[in-house]
């Protein structure tokens, strides 16, 4: 393999001649064994290079870089953004296991953009007439750009999740509306309780998800506070208050989203609580999705030897050994996906506590799992809605049979016949395998 020699503050290093990254990225690739295996999420990389274009615009306005350099950076960003996923990811090889602070990701972005921009000027990779530090990192630090880009990325993903949750809410609402007249046994402690309707049961699921959606929307608000311009610690080193203000204004313009300046850049650089809050809102949603999924599995159990009150759609054969068996596979997938979201949250909260002094250095280990959680929840909610909830059918005959032979009627008679009388009749019906309604009517 042909190589080129690049230099940094440590020592010279050979870099493959035709790759668009540089010496910093090459050191990462040779240091961390996960590099190239579990790649930095593509959606974050695309947001990162887009953010560099915003910085180039503002830096030009404040005479940090010249117009020619800005044009070259913008051209490089646009070229990369036009690439399909496979080609794009070949430019960004490092993995999620990397140094703290997001420096590895930021410098990989800087080197790739510097080299691509330079090559567009007809100059080979590795010459850096457009420099990865002086031009691409002007007015910046990994410490403010990585969490800032993390917020841009998660905001986009949360918007997609909100859409899927809305669809799920509407689907539960439709299921409830279509089953208003179907009465059934309600259960508490998994025992017969009082009469409910499928409308009430499914309406409760719709309301549960709606409350989770509201919580996610509230948590998302914290992501609108950007710390772009916080540089290394939150101080005004290498930046001015006017440039900070213009950064927020330019991001607001480009993203068509009303962003806010950080109230404390020191807090934003040293804390990851905004991300932890969003993660916790995901967990609350995941908990309820697991609960609803468990209800669906119970209600559909059988189909002959269980409750069998509802019929789930068959999405795949359920067994490699038992012919004809069908499992609640979509709900099992839902449960495992939600468990992964809960696991990611544990990672996020452990690392949130690990911040010291002026930097949350474990930001990559927080942002990457949060991105995964947002994508996982969105995908699994879409599947749960379209491959399960939309196709649920009530087994009316089974529902009526279970209701008729249950003790759900007992409470309705307790005020007329008194509690003790009804309790005695319930025990009599259970012992003699009699119909409780007939016994109750006989006492009237």
Q: How confident is the model at residue 36 (pLDDT cuts 50, 70, 90)?
A: low
Distance CA 244, CA 241 (A): 5
Measured between alpha carbons, how far is residue 243 from residues 55, 70, 224 in Å?
A: 10, 16, 18
Across residues 384-408, what is the average pLDDT? 94
Residues 43-68: tens digit of each pLDDT:
999 999 999 999 999 999 999 999 99
pLDDT in tens, 169-179: 999 999 888 78
Q: What is the pLDDT of residue 34?
A: 64
Catalytic residues: 189, 319
> Where are the domains positioned within the chain?
3-138, 143-236+251-397, 409-443
8 Å CB contact between 336 and 383 = no
Per-residue pLDDT, averaged over 112-140, amounts to 93
Q: Mean pLDDT throughout 412-434? A: 91
**pLDDT at residue 401 is higher than 80:** yes
pLDDT of 120 > 80? The answer is yes
Backbone angles phi, psi at 433, to 5 degrees: 55, 50
pLDDT of residue 375: 98
Q: Report yes or no: 115 and 125 within 8 Å, Cβ to Cβ.
A: yes
Q: How far is CA 350 from CA 150, 327, 343, 367, in A?
A: 18, 36, 11, 13
Cβ atoms within 10 Å of 102's Cβ, excluding its own: 32
Identity of the highest mean pLDDT range in 117-121, 249-253, 437-441: 249-253
Which helix (DSSP H) or strand (DSSP E) does residue 122 occupy? none
Q: Could you give the angle at the alpha carbon of 367 between the alpha carbons of 370 and 156, nearest 5°?
A: 65
Mean pLDDT of the chain: 93
25 within 8 A of 107, measured Cβ to Cβ: yes
321 has a pLDDT exceeding 70: yes
Proportion of the chain above pLDDT 90, given as a percent: 79
Model pLDDT, residue 442: 86
Q: Examine the pLDDT at 26 and tell me if it is beyond 90.
A: yes
**What CATH number should be reported for the domain whose range is 143-236+251-397?**
1.20.200.10
Yes or no: say if 303 and 328 are a contact pair by the CB < 8 Å rule. Answer: no
- The region of weakest confidence among 125-129, 286-290, 314-318, 349-353 is 314-318
Asked if the bond preceding 303 is cis, omega within 30° of 0, the reply is yes
- In CATH terms, is domain 3-138 a member of 1.10.1740.10? no
Q: For residue range 59-97, what is the model confidence (pLDDT) as tens digits?
A: 999 999 999 999 999 999 999 999 999 999 999 999 998
Q: Which of 223, 196, 356 is nearest to 282 (CA)?
A: 223
Per-residue pLDDT tens over the stretch 134-162: 999 999 999 999 999 999 999 999 999 99
pLDDT of residue 1: 79
Rounded to two decimals, what is the model's pTM?
0.93
Is 267:234 a contact under the CB 8 Å cutoff? Answer: yes
Least confident of 53-62, 294-303, 321-330: 321-330
Residue 12 pLDDT level (bands cut at 50, 70, 90): very high
- The band of 37, judged by pLDDT with boundaries at 50, 70 and 90, is low
**Tens-digit pLDDT profile for residues 223-270:** 999 999 999 998 988 899 999 999 999 999 999 999 999 999 999 999
pLDDT reported for residue 316? 85
């Amino acid at each position: 393999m042909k190589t080129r020699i690049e230099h940094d503050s440590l020592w010279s290093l050979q870099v493959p001649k035709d790759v668009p990254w540089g010496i910093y990225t090459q050191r990462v690739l040779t240091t961390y064994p996960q590099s190239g295996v579990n790649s930095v999420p593509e959606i974050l990389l695309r947001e990162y290079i887009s953010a560099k274009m915003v910085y180039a615009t503002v830096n030009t306005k404040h005479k940090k870089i010249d117009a020619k350099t800005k044009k070259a950076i913008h051209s490089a960003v646009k070229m990369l953004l036009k690439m399909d996923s496979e080609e794009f990811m070949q430019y960004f090889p490092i993995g999620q296991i990397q140094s703290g602070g997001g420096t590895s990701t930021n410098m990989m972005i800087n080197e790739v953009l510097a080299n691509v921009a330079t090559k567009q000027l007809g100059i080979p990779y590795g010459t850096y007439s457009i420099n990865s530090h002086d031009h691409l990192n002007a007015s910046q630090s990994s410490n403010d750009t990585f969490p800032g880009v993390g917020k841009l990325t998660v905001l986009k993903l949360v918007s997609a999740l909100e859409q899927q949750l809305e669809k799920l809410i509407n689907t539960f609402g439709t299921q409830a509306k279509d089953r208003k007249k179907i009465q059934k046994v309600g259960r508490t402690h998994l025992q017969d309780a009082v009469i409910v309707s499928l409308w009430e049961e499914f309406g409760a699921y719709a309301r549960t998800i709606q409350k989770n959606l509201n919580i996610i929307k509230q948590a998302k608000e914290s992501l609108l506070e950007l710390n772009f311009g916080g540089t290394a610690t939150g101080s005004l080193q290498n930046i001015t208050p006017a440039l900070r203000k213009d950064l927020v204004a330019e991001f607001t313009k480009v993203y068509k989203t009303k962003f806010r300046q950080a109230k404390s850049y020191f807090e934003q650089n040293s804390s990851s609580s905004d991300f932890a809050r969003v993660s916790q809102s995901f967990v609350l949603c995941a908990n309820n999705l697991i609960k609803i999924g468990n209800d669906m599995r119970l209600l559909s159990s059988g189909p002959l030897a269980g409750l069998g009150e509802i019929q789930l759609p068959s999405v795949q054969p359920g067994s490699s050994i038992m012919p004809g068996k069908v499992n609640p596979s979509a709900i099992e997938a839902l449960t495992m996906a939600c468990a992964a979201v809960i696991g990611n949250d544990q990672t996020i909260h452990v690392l949130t506590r690990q911040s010291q002094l002026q930097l949350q250095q474990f930001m990559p280990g927080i942002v990457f799992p949060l991105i995964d959680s947002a994508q996982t929840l969105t995908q699994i909610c879409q599947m749960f809605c379209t491959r399960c909830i939309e196709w649920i059918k009530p087994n009316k005959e089974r529902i009526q049979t279970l209701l008729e032979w249950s003790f759900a009627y007992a409470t309705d008679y307790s005020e007329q016949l008194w509690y003790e009388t009804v309790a005695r009749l319930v025990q009599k019906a259970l012992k003699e395998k009699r119909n409780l309604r007939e016994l109750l009517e006989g006492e009237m």
